[in-house]
Chains A and B, each alone.
Chain A
Amino acid sequence: EAQVTQNPRYLITVTGKKLTVTCSQNMNHEYMSWYRQDPGLGLRQIYYSMNVEVTDKGDVPEGYKVSRKEKRNFPLILESPSPNQTSLYFCASTPRGLDYNEQFFGPGTRLTVL
């Protein structure tokens, strides 16, 4: 089944404790993105990647890191989480070459930083 998977689905942590949220897609898509969803703000892009070893900042990159060492994986790293990073996070992927940008979303990771 074609899908985007994220782990963990739920995470409660404390301020300053490094964490990684994994994202994997099995559709051989070139583009991958991370978004955060907050009430009243919709989804905002954190980082995106156009291909292996190619990443760029989105609208809200502060406090986050990413890497793209393999085409299928795009982990999101919070080196020192803070309470304002409590949010619902989505990973998404899209293939290159479409005449429109349909993105395929993972199920989401709900993060709480105490």
Chain B
Amino acid sequence: GNSVTQMEGPVTLSEEAFLTINCTYTATGYPSLFWYVQYPGEGLQLLLKATKADDKGSNKGFEATYRKETTSFHLEKGSVQVSDSAVYFCALSAGGTSYGKLTFGQGTILTVHP
């Protein structure tokens, strides 16, 4: 079956540090890949997406590239802010008969200190 594995957290950084959160996946076919963010007390919001190999998703300074050869979709940001403190989820959608389903990773808690 499909699965997503994220790096263990929590991750604690100082403001303006570089962020990487690793994500690898297992899926048949050509899934779409997503990063969702969950701010404290809120639901999940889509941060960025990539729908085919070599696509780069980007939003709010965050980037991730769909690497089919390494089955990875690592999240990066060059300079984090305190307001980026949240839980980050990597997810995939296999499409087809599984269109309505997302498979999530475990989530990574990010805390950014001033």
Residues of A within 8 A of B (CB): 4, 31-33, 35, 37, 40-45, 48-50, 58, 90, 92, 94, 96, 99-103, 105-108
Contact = CB atoms under 8 A, between A and B. Distances in A.
B43 A101 contact: no
B107 A107 contact: no
B89 A94 contact: no
Chain B binding site: helix, strand, loop or mixed by DSSP? Answer: strand
Nearest to A29: B100
A101 B95 contact: yes
Given A37-B107, A105-B45, 19 more contacts: A4-B43, A31-B100, A33-B101, A33-B102, A35-B104, A42-B104, A42-B105, A42-B107, A43-B91, A43-B104, A90-B43, A94-B100, A99-B51, A100-B32, A100-B49, A101-B99, A101-B100, A101-B101, A105-B44
Nearest to B42: A107
The residue among A40, A58, A100, A101 with the most chain B CB atoms within 10 A of its own CB is A101
B104 A48 contact: no
A102 B100 contact: no
B102 A103 contact: yes
B70 to A, nearest CB: 21
B106 A42 contact: yes
A67 to B, nearest CB: 16
Contacts of A37: 107
B43 A50 contact: no
Interface residues of B, number: 25
A41 B93 CA distance: 17
Contacts of B103: 45
5 pairs of A and B residues whose beta carbons are closest in the complex: A101-B93, A105-B43, A42-B104, A31-B100, A43-B104
B43 A108 contact: yes
7 contacts: A42-B107, A45-B103, A99-B51, A100-B93, A102-B46, A105-B44, A106-B43
B52 to A, nearest CB: 9
A46 to B, nearest CB: 11
Contacts of A108: 42-43
Interface string B25-55: 0000000101010000011111001010000
